[in-house]
A and B are shown apart, each in its own frame.
Chain A
Amino acid sequence: MDNFFLLLGMALFTLVLLCLYRGVFGPGVLNRMAGICAIGTKTLVILLLMGFIYNRVEMFIDISMVYAFLNFVGTITAAKYLEIKGEA
Chain B
Amino acid sequence: MQEALAKQAPASRLKSELSRRIWRNKWLYIMIAPGILYFIIFKYIPMFGLVIAFQDFKPFFGFTGSEWVGFKHFERLFTEPDFLNILSNTLILFAMNLFFYFPIPIILALMLNEVRINFFKRLFQSLVYLPHFLSWVIIVSISFVMLTMDGGIINELLVYFGFEKVNFLLSNAWFRPIYIIQVIWREAGWGTIIYLAAIASIDPQLYEAARMDGASRMRQVWHITLPAIRSVIIVLLILKIGDVLELGFEHVYLLLNSMNREVAEIIDTYVYTAGLRQGQFSYSTAIGFFKSLVGLILVMFANYLAKKMGEEGVY
* Chain B associates with chain A: no
Residues of A within 8 A of B (CB): none
Chain B residues close to A by CB (< 8 Å): none
